[in-house]
A and B are shown apart, each in its own frame.
Chain A
Amino acid sequence: DAMVIQNPRYQVTQFGKPVTLSCSQTLNHNVMYWYQQKSSQAPKLLFHYYDKDFNNEADTPDNFQSRRPNTSFCFLDIRSPGLGDAAMYLCATSSRDGYQGPQHFGDGTRLSIL
């Protein structure tokens, strides 16, 4: 089945130690999103790529960066994780070609900070 795959499902890192989360998709969607979700809250959009164009949300900290080397893969880099960055990180994809299709989510990576 076509899907959005996130690796790893669980990630533990140390305070201040850079970490990279990955997302791949077989849907051939041209838009990929990264969300942060804290317990019992709605997902919060960090940024998205529309093809190769990067779109950052105004309130996303500089500590969060992203890379999209090709259509299928997108990475979330956290340069110096703080305790407040412990959360579930969700990747989503959608198709946008004049018309915006619905977003499809991966199962997330739960990030813990020691």
Chain B
Amino acid sequence: GQQLNQSPQSMFIQEGEDVSMNCTSSSIFNTWLWYKQDPGEGPVLLIALYKAGELTSNGRLTAQFGITRKDSFLNISASIPSDVGIYFCAGQNPTDNDMRFGAGTRLTVKP
């Protein structure tokens, strides 16, 4: 199946630092999505991207849909303790409309 590589696998940062994580694919997607999952809860949609090159912000979060349609990144600025959680990228395949998830980035923020 289509490979979706998310990195880094985990990050340990100090409160106030900026964070960047990314996803790459072996083939194109027509939609990129970023979710955050807190322990014991379902993933919550953070940002949805629909166009190659699109740059979208949601508060301290910024995500971009790569020009090649094979990658996306998520940046978090000025991290705070409640940013802790697992961040998943997800891509939607134009040929079957199913979503593919990355393996997740586990973020730890030290106060």
Chain A bound to chain B: yes
Give chain A's interface residue range (CB within 8 Å of chain B): 20 to 34
- Say yes or no: is A78 at the interface (Cβ < 8 Å to chain B): no
Say whether A82 faces chain B, with CB atoms less than 8 Å apart: no
CA–CA, A110 to B86, complex, Å? 17
Of B11-19, B64-72, B74-82, B97-105, the segment with at least 4 beta carbons within 8 Å of chain A is B97-105
Query: Is chain A's interface secondary structure helix, strand, loop, or mixed overall?
Result: strand
A102-B101 contact, Cβ under 8 Å, with A40-B106, A90-B42: no
Is there a chain B Cβ closer than 8 Å to A70's Cβ? Answer: no
B residues at A contact (CB < 8 Å) = 31, 33, 35, 40-45, 48, 86, 88, 90, 92, 97-99, 101-104, 106
Give the B-binding residues of A (Cβ under 8 A).
4, 6, 40-43, 45, 48, 90, 92, 96, 100, 102-108, 110
